[in-house]
Amino acid sequence: MEHTLVHVCRHGQVYNPNHVLYGRLPGFGLSDLGRQMADRLGEYFADLPITHLRVSPLQRARETMAPIAARHPELELVVDNRIIEAANSLEGQAFGRFNQRLLLPRNLIRLRNPLRPSWGEPYEKVAQRMHAAIADAAAAAGVGGRAVLVSHELPIWMARLSAEGRPLVHNPAQRQARLASVTTFTLMEGRVVKVDYTEPAGGLVPARKKILRPGM
């Protein structure tokens, strides 16, 4: 029986010199390095038989998709709000070099329950909307087809954990969804049967920072 592949890419590096937790805020596009990462993704998918394209509405995702779409001009690009970044009530803030501003009372109250998490969109909701979008992308790609989506780190990781039957509560430092990475969901009869992961732009990705913020 034929399967369908849905390749879910994380966007490239964002230009963010003030280290703002940008979340869903507008106006955060790719850095020069991020555009190089996007070009690597364009090259990676250039010769594959892609049959469907879908992207988050956020600027950084659209800019990452651009080199991919340019190599498949015959395909319509679908904008899907279901693969947007997770909602985060802390967005718009810069927390300082050592996250000291997280200790402000207005922020501490939002960190009271990391299992939900209390500062943002519930993990279960993120996983559900991502799987719905992946299923629709697979249907649009057709049996035996390939879809390419560009989304964001946390939604991609929630989709993977859910597909693999693992708990959604996790340590952010252990996410395997680096910048410009590709998480591939193999579907048969609408069901995910396999998940693979690769990093076409791995040589461009800076070392992971040790200091993490909620939602990053």
SS3 string of 170-202?
Answer: CCHHHCCCCCCCEEEEEEECCEEEEEEEECCCH
Say if residue 213's pLDDT is above 60.
no
Average pLDDT over residues 37-51: 98
pLDDT of residue 207: 78
Of 28-32, 55-59, 114-118, 195-199, the range with the lowest mean pLDDT is: 114-118
Say if residue 2's pLDDT is above 80.
yes
HSE on the CB side for 28, CA within 13 Å?
22
pLDDT of residue 96: 82
Q: Which two tokens stand for residue 200?
A: 């076409």
CATH topology of domain 4-17+29-87+122-204: Rossmann fold (3.40.50)
Residue 68 has a CB neighbour count (10 Å cut-off) of 26
pLDDT category at 162 given cuts 50, 70, 90 is: very high
pLDDT of residue 214: 59
Taking the C-alpha atoms of residue 84 and residue 61, their distance in angstroms, rounded to an integer, is 9
The kind and range of the H/E element at 10 are strand 4-10
pLDDT of residue 121: 97
